[in-house]
Amino acid sequence: MRRATGHAPGRINLIGEHTDYNDGLVMPIALRLGVTVEAISGHDKTVRLTTDAAVEPREADYDIGAERRDGTWVDRARGVTAILSRDGAAVRGFDAQITSDLPLGAGLGSSAAFAIALLRAISKLFDLPIDDAATARIAHAAENEFAGARSGMLDQLASVYGRSSDALLIDMRDHGTQVIPLPPTIELAVIDSGTRHEHATGGYNQRRAECEEACLHLGVATLRDIDERPLDDIVERLPAPLDRRVRHVVTENARVRRAVKAVRSGDDAALGAILSASHRSLSDDYGVSTPELDQLVVLATDAGALGARMVGGGFGGSIIALARRGEGPGVAARVLERYGGTGKIVAIVP
Ligand code: GLA
């Protein structure tokens, strides 16, 4: 019998939302909050999971080689063991205890963090030679090929390579990364709206399909391929709502580039304006915001934030509000006073 522990952080994304599956640019920051998995090896094929998190079911078991999807969080574990076995890894049964100080389903990368923490624990348990790149790839395959959420790789790469005091610029075309240190003059308040929407069955997969349809119309492999072309000409050729979807993706990549410049030159006001513009684009053009997220963004700006936007896939979840260093907790408290019951301050970053 062996024991092993795996941990993986959640993430925010400074900017670059819904660009990852379009071969675009993203800029995540790892949270200090995450998921921990403590595992003990077993003798048979059975995996037994228990969690302290407020999710259903709290306990589950299944046999390796007989993984069947049931639409719950357990699918992330089933996906991990199914992909490992498919790839020829010698995985046996184990018992695992899952704990999390990261809110679940809040748009903060909890599904990816769970899959990665689990992979880290079981690769130690069974001496599997899995490096960081393979960990991200397997966690992503578990989500896409098994759990049925057609997500990009933002969350997995952010959890594996992300840093908690710097942003990481990732070019999804080749997974090239660049560390972008955050100016000492700013911080980000992460506020959970307390509203949830299930990605796998919701609009997320639909947005991805719309981007693929737009590529077919435009005769390109990915939306990154139109980055350099005049946007108006492109948008004119597309039927609604594909025109708006494409406008979001192309302008969001441009905003990431401008955000990098603003961070590097310490232009905090410009960065705030870019974040707010990203939110408007996600809400008006991409259609992934909600009344609660829109309200939180307005409240944050009223409360003195330099800018604010929803973070992650949308359809519920969290916002980030950019504040002057030291002012984040005050801004967040003023937002929550007016927002009401379901809101929570998740973190002040860095
Ligand atoms: C979710 C997905 C990511 C990414 C974001 C939106 O977090 O898991 O792959 O697409 O939404 O940027």
| 281-331 pLDDT, tens digit each | 999 999 999 999 999 999 999 999 999 999 999 999 999 999 999 999 999
159-212 pLDDT tens trace:
999 999 999 999 999 999 999 999 999 999 999 999 987 654 579 999 999 999
Tokens of 226: 């139109």
In the DSSP assignment, the letter for residue 162 is -
Q: What is the pLDDT of residues 248-274, one digit of tens each?
A: 999 999 999 999 999 999 999 999 999
Short-list 154, 145, 123, CA closest to 78:
145
- Residue 103 to residue 50: CA distance in whole angstroms: 17
CA 132 / ligand 1 centre spacing (Å): 19
pLDDT at 1: 86
User: What integer is the mean pLDDT of 22-48?
Assistant: 97
Burial 166-192 (b: 16+ CB within 10 A, else e): bbbbbbbeeeeeeebebbeebbbbbbb
DSSP alpha helix (H) spans, the chain: 74-86, 110-125, 132-141, 154-161, 203-218, 231-236, 242-265, 268-280, 291-302, 328-339
Query: Measured from the CA of 13, which atom of ligand 1 is nearest?
Result: 12
Q: Is the pTM of this model over 0.95?
A: yes
Catalytic residues: 155
**Residue 129 C-beta-side C-alpha neighbours within 13 Å:** 1
Which residues' Cβ are closer than 6 Å to ligand 1?
A: 17-18, 20-21, 151-152, 154-155, 312-313
Helix, strand, coil shares, percent, the chain, to 5:
40, 25, 35
Looking at residues 37-53, what average pLDDT do you find? 95
pLDDT value of residue 198: 61
Kindly tell me if the per-residue pLDDT of 45 is higher than 60: yes
32 CA from centroid of ligand 1 (Å) = 19
Distances (CA, A) of 46 to 49, 96, 327: 10, 11, 50
Q: How far is CA 189 from the centre of its chain?
A: 17
Q: Which of 155, 248, 256, 282 to mutate to test the pocket of ligand 1 (most atoms within 8 A of CB)?
A: 155
| Ligand 1 atom closest to Cα of residue 109 | 7
What pLDDT was estimated at residue 202?
78
Q: Do residues 85 and 39 make contact, with C-beta atoms less than 8 angstroms apart?
A: no
Rounded mean pLDDT, 38-65: 95
Mean pLDDT of 278-283: 98
Q: Is 246 exposed, middle or buried (0-12, 13-18, 19+ CB in 10 A)?
A: buried
Output the pLDDT for position 148.
84
The alpha carbon of 93 and the centre of ligand 1 are apart by a number of angstroms equal to: 31
177 strand-pairing partners: 170
